[in-house]
Amino acid sequence: MLCMQWKNHRLTTCAVTYALTGSFPATAIATAASALPDVLELKLIKHRTLTHYPWLPLMPAALVWRSMQHEPGYILYVCFFILVGYVGHLAEDLLGNSGLPFWNPRGKRTGLHLYATRTPSEYVVALTIVMAALLYSWQNGMFGQAYLLQAADNTALFVTGMARHFSKV
Domain ranges of the chain: 6-164
pLDDT digit string (tens) for 109-161? Answer: 999 999 998 999 999 999 999 999 999 999 999 999 999 999 999 999 999 99
**Per-residue pLDDT reduced to its tens digit, 81-123:** 999 999 999 999 999 998 999 999 999 999 999 999 899 999 9
Look at residue 53 and tell me whether its pLDDT is greater than 80. Answer: yes
Average predicted confidence (pLDDT) for the chain: 94
Q: DSSP secondary-structure letter at 101?
A: E
- Residues belonging to the chain: 169
Instruction: State the Cα–Cα distance between residues 94 and 110, nearest whole angstrom.
Output: 7
Q: What is the pLDDT of residue 3?
A: 67
pTM as predicted = 0.92
